[in-house]
Amino acid sequence: MKYAIVYSSKTGNTAALADRLHDILPHEHCVYFGDTSHYSPDLGADLIFAGFWTDKGSCDDRTRVFLKNLQNTKIALFGTAGYAAPDYIHSILKQAEANIPVNNTVLTGFVCQGKMQPAVADKFAAMLEKDPEDAKGKLLRDTYQEGLSHPNEEDFANFKKWAEGFIH
C-alpha cells in the first residue's frame, strides 16, 4: 500500500504530528511527505494522511481545497485545534470530511490540542480586564494556558496508537 503524508501547518503543531507519522510508518511505502502545494495524484498513493490545523471549526483553507480535489482514494485526516473537547473534535472532523468527494473512502481521523498563538492571550486579557468574570474570557484563558504544552507526550502516544492502526 503506497501512502502520502500531506499537511498544512501554520505554527508547527500539525507539522510535529506529520513528522511523527513519517517516523512511525514504513518509509519504503511513502510516495510523498510535504505540504499541499507539491502533491500530485500521479504519485499513486492508495492512502493519504491529510494533516490540517483548525480554522473556524473546520480544516484550514489549504486543506479544504486539497481535499476537494481528491478522487478515489482512502483518506485519513489528522490535525490540531486550539480547543479540544471530544464533542468539538468530533465536529471538526465532520466539518473537514464534508469537503471530501464521495468517491473517496474516509477513515477514522485524529485531532488533538495544539498551542495557540500569543495574540490569543491579548484577546482574553482584554476581555477579562473589562469583566474579570467574563465566562468566554475565562474559557479562552484556560484553553490557551492548557494548550501551551500541546501536543504533549500523551497526545503523541495517542497519535502513535492511531497511526499504528494503519500498519498491517
Ligand X SMILES: Cc1cc2nc3c(=O)[nH]c(=O)nc-3n(C[C@H](O)[C@H](O)[C@H](O)COP(=O)(O)O)c2cc1C
Q: Which residues bind ligand X (CB under 6 A)?
A: 9-15, 53-57, 80-83, 114, 116-117
Quote the cell numbers at residue 50: 491529510
Minimal distance in Å, beta carbon 132 to ligand X? 24
DSSP type of residue 6 = E
Minimal distance in Å, beta carbon 92 to ligand X? 7
44: left (phi over 0), alpha (psi -120 to 50) or beta: left
Minimal distance in Å, beta carbon 153 to ligand X? 16
Nearer to ligand X among residue 56 and residue 168 (C-beta): 56
> Rounded to an integer, what is the distance from CA 131 to the centroid of its chain?
33
Nearer to ligand X among residue 10 and residue 68 (C-beta): 10
Give the residue nearest to ligand X (CB).
114
In this structure, which amino acid lies at residue 19?
D
Nearer to ligand X among residue 15 and residue 31 (C-beta): 15
C-beta of residue 151 within 8 angstroms of C-beta of residue 114: yes
Nearer to ligand X among residue 75 and residue 112 (C-beta): 112
Minimal distance in Å, beta carbon 88 to ligand X? 7
Rounded-to-integer distance, Cα 156 and Cα 98, Å: 26
Residues contacting 10, CB < 8 A, separation 6+: 53, 60
